[in-house]
Amino acid sequence: MVSTQAQTGVGAQQASLWGVAPYPVLVADEQGRVVLHNDAADVLLPGIRPGTPFADVVPAWLSAAHDALRAAGRTPGPPAGQEPDAPVTGVIGERAFEAHPTPRDDGTVAWWLVDDTDHLLAQRALRMERKRTAFLSEASSTLLSSLNLGRCMDVTAQLAAEHLADAALVIAPTHGRRLPVVTCLRGGTPVLAHESVDPDEVPGLGEALRGFPPVPSRWIDPSTAPVWMVPEGFGTVGSIVITPLPGHGVPAGALVLLRRSGGAAFTESEEVFARLFAARAGAAMSAARLYAEQTSITEVLMRELLPPSLHQISGVDYAGGYRPSADHERVGGDFYDVHPAAVEGEASLVALGDVCGKGLEAAVLTGKIRNTLHALLPLADDHQRMISLLNTALLNSHHTRFVTLVLASAVREGNAVNLRLTSAGHLTPLIVRASGAVEEAETRGTLVGAMPEAPARTTALTLAPGESCVLYTDGITEAEGGPMGGAQFGEERLKRILSECVGMPSESIVERVQMLAAQWVGKGRHDDMAVVVISAPRTHHLSAVNGHTRGRFTA
Amino acid sequence: MTMLPPAHLRLTTVDTEDTVRIELDGELDYETADSLLTAVTDLLAARPRLHNLHLHCAGLDNVDSMGLSVLLMIRRRTDQAGVRLHLDDRTTTLERLLTITGSLEYLTTSPTGTANSSPGTGEDPRTSGEAMTARPTGPDSTT
């Protein structure tokens, strides 16, 4: 439609140009009446005719802008062609428009309407994506900062309730009959409960918790949701979606999102977003779970490996000390045990050893060795036989992990202690004589568990009252430190220290060696250190062990 | 000449006809021992006609129990492959470790049996009740 009205002052050619422009254009005069409009405006605003009041055909936001412009433009009036600062925006029908006014010389104003609906939608989507990305990165950093499974479940439920739904449940896979469930309402605090329920009764939940086969998130009919799934005081459930939490090869659990009826249901993009969140939460939860499992395995092993507290058995003093390496993840490979004789008057067996390697493998091997030695106790009067059998038990074609150990059989005879000592590839036991001399026991043998045979030579000796036999691991002698740092504690230093320990009770010797080695190391790293001291007690008064005692012993 | 750079252990392989010599520099321990085992295992697989494997030990600063474990495994593999293992230029520290653990003789004597005999065959005499002679066979081993 081409207007030819003379009062507009628009030439026919000019009018025909904007008349077919794709954007709606309308011209209104100072009295607020429409004077001109083009085809696009006709489509957008049906009923628009020249002469109709502007306010009747356009939305309030546009007519208000027109009034405001007339009021302002009355005075100097912006030069033609110059746009006022910001465009006026508003909605017409279902679309959003920017309205750009061009005041004309005759006092009329041409309004150019630009549809920016898609632009606005894109902006909104961008804002939403940014918000989601920020949320996901916040979720990741919050979740990954904790290796505590309970805390991870709490955080997951809380974040999900805050950003994804009106309430969220995090359900962990269970080993037992009770299902650990953390529930969180929006704005509330997460609550942990254990539900005695069968997850397979809820559609999709059993599969999500098993983690295999992988299942997509699943909508369930709110009316079929079990009572425990709906938090108290939640109201009527509008929609529920169950999303599996994928873990690192292990199922990490399931995330249940609930929205109230009346509110918006989950859109497809929200569901995708929930899955992205679930992937992060699942990774954090499975990491925490694996860590917890590993920690508990280590704890169980460590408890098994803790050396026993020693004391006097059948008139022989035993004392032991163990200082594990400070590397927490590395369970030590040093061990010692004292097995009292089954029959009074027979020898007790002491075993001190050092398993090659570190970590769980070393811990498992240590446990195996201690158990095997325990089982071989009836053969304790033949050290070589015990060692050969242990060697056979440990030999394995896949690896050459070995143990070096010392076996000591000690029995009191009169005031003295008779000792049989066998070193199987271990550091030679040291004998602290009453004279202050420190002797190396005459025993040598091969390490156990890696070579076809494990021959060893046993030595027999006697400890007079006040004399001691010291068994130790290389964590002591190879401890690095000293005044200048970097020097080894060494056997010579150990011997010197022991020669000053003459006549001391076994416990004091252990404490002294440990203390000096610890001082030597200072704050530096060290390996496991184990010491066992076997002593013939100094007899200050008559001993009732047997008839051989000769009364008061004077030092 | 090939160079393999693992953590703290450097292996330098020198090849001749039927002999390979690997120079060990650094620490043979919990963290590095596996790299030596892998290198030797690959070598044995790649060189079926090999007669002698020399591990040149002068540059070894420290050998811990895992390092010793790997030497024992290498000995087992070389015996199976019919290759004679030589631990050359042992440091006093290494000599001491091998002496204390009673593994010196096992690691340094030549297998008397052929490749298909068990590694233990050659060592039978010393196991017959008689005390094991852990006496060092290397030069001035005990300090």
Pairwise CA distance, residues A343 & B114, whole Å: 49
Nearest to A451 among B70, B106, B131 (CB): B106
- Asked if A400 and B127 come within 8 Å (Cβ–Cβ), the reply is no
Contacts of A400 in chain B (CB under 8 A): 69-70, 72-73, 76
- Asked if A446 and B134 come within 8 Å (Cβ–Cβ), the reply is yes
Give the chain B residue nearest A396 (alpha carbons): B73
Written as one string, the DSSP assignment of A431-491 is EE-TTS-EEE-S--B--BSSSS---B-EEEEEEPTT-EEEEE-HHHHT-EESSSSSEE--H
Domain chopping of chain B, boundaries:
2-111
Whether B39 has a pLDDT exceeding 90, the answer reads yes
- Asked if B65 and A356 come within 8 Å (Cβ–Cβ), the reply is yes
Whether B130 has a pLDDT exceeding 50, the answer reads no
The residue of B69, B121, B128 whose CB has the most chain A CBs within 10 angstroms, and thus the best one to mutate to test that interface, is B69
Cβ neighbours around A517 below 10 Å, total:
24
Give the chain B residue nearest A449 (alpha carbons): B69
Interface of B with A (CB under 8 A): 30, 65-66, 68-70, 72-73, 76, 100-103, 106, 118-120, 123, 126-127, 130-132, 134
Whether B131 has a pLDDT exceeding 70, the answer reads no
Q: Is-contact A309 A512, C-beta < 8 A?
A: no
pLDDT of residue A374: 94
CATH superfamily of A308-535: PPM-type phosphatase domain (3.60.40.10)
Pairwise CA distance, residues A307 & B39, whole Å: 38
pLDDT of residue A266: 77
Pairwise CA distance, residues B29 & A227, whole Å: 59
Tell me, yes or no, if the two domains A6-115 and A121-298 fold the same way: yes
**Nearest partner of A420 among A505, A337, A347, judged by Cα:** A347
- Asked if A452 and B119 come within 8 Å (Cβ–Cβ), the reply is yes
pLDDT of residue A89: 87
- Class of the CATH domain delimited by B2-111: alpha beta
Contacts of B103 in chain A (CB under 8 A): 425, 446-447, 450-451
Q: Does domain A6-115 have CATH number 3.30.830.10?
A: no
In this prediction, residue B137 has a pLDDT band, given cuts at 50, 70 and 90, of very low
Nearest to A450 among B72, B126, B131 (CB): B72
pLDDT of residue B126: 40
- Packing angle, helices A383-394 and A359-375, rounded to 10: 140
Contacts of A453 in chain B (CB under 8 A): 120, 123, 126-127
Pairwise CA distance, residues A145 & A147, whole Å: 7
Binding-face residues of A in 316-345 toward B, CB within 8 A: 333
**Nearest partner of A242 among A210, A216, A214, judged by Cα:** A216
- Asked if A450 and B131 come within 8 Å (Cβ–Cβ), the reply is no
Give buried/exposed letters for A300-332 (b at 16+ CB in 10 A, else e): ebeeebebeebeebbbbbbbbbbbbbeeeebbb
HEC profile of A297-328: HHHHHHHHHCCCCCCCECCEEEEEEEECCCCC
Query: CA dist A31 to A25, A46, A87, A109, Å?
Result: 18, 21, 22, 11
Whether B120 has a pLDDT exceeding 70, the answer reads no
Amino acid at A233: G
Domain chopping of chain A, boundaries:
6-115, 121-298, 308-535
For chain A, 555 residues long, give each residue's pLDDT as a single digit of tens.
Answer: 444 444 444 555 566 677 788 889 989 888 888 888 888 888 888 888 888 888 888 888 988 888 888 877 654 444 444 455 667 888 888 889 999 888 888 888 889 898 888 988 899 889 988 988 888 888 888 888 878 888 899 999 999 998 889 999 999 887 677 888 999 999 899 999 988 888 888 888 888 888 766 667 777 888 888 888 888 888 888 888 888 888 777 778 899 999 988 777 778 888 888 888 988 898 888 888 888 887 887 777 767 677 778 888 899 999 999 887 766 545 568 899 999 998 888 999 999 999 988 777 787 888 899 999 999 999 999 999 999 999 999 998 888 999 999 999 999 999 999 999 999 999 999 999 999 999 999 999 999 999 999 999 999 999 999 999 999 999 999 998 988 888 999 999 999 999 999 989 999 999 999 999 999 998 887 888 899 999 999 876 544 444 444 444 444
| φ/ψ (deg, to 5) at A37 | -160, 160
- Asked if B126 and A455 come within 8 Å (Cβ–Cβ), the reply is yes
Contacts of B68 in chain A (CB under 8 A): 356, 402, 447
Contacts of B69 in chain A (CB under 8 A): 356-357, 399-402, 450
The residue of A358, A360, A426, A453 whose CB has the most chain B CBs within 10 angstroms, and thus the best one to mutate to test that interface, is A453
- Asked if A399 and B73 come within 8 Å (Cβ–Cβ), the reply is yes
- Asked if A427 and B100 come within 8 Å (Cβ–Cβ), the reply is yes
- Nearest Cα of chain A lies from the Cα of B21 at a distance, in angstroms, of 23
Binding-face residues of A in 531-550 toward B, CB within 8 A: none
Contacts of B130 in chain A (CB under 8 A): 455
**Nearest partner of B25 among B52, B47, B3, B50, judged by Cα:** B3
pLDDT of residue B112: 59
The residue of A356, A426, A443, A474 whose CB has the most chain B CBs within 10 angstroms, and thus the best one to mutate to test that interface, is A356
Instruction: Quote the ipTM score.
Output: 0.73
3-state SS assignment for residue A530: strand
Give the chain A residue nearest B31 (alpha carbons): A357
Sheet arrangement for strand B84-88? B2-4, B9-15, B19-28, B52-63, B84-88
- Nearest Cα of chain B lies from the Cα of A398 at a distance, in angstroms, of 9
pLDDT of residue A459: 97
Q: What is the CATH number of domain A121-298?
A: 3.30.450.40
A487-488/A458-463 β-pairing: unpaired
pLDDT of residue A268: 80
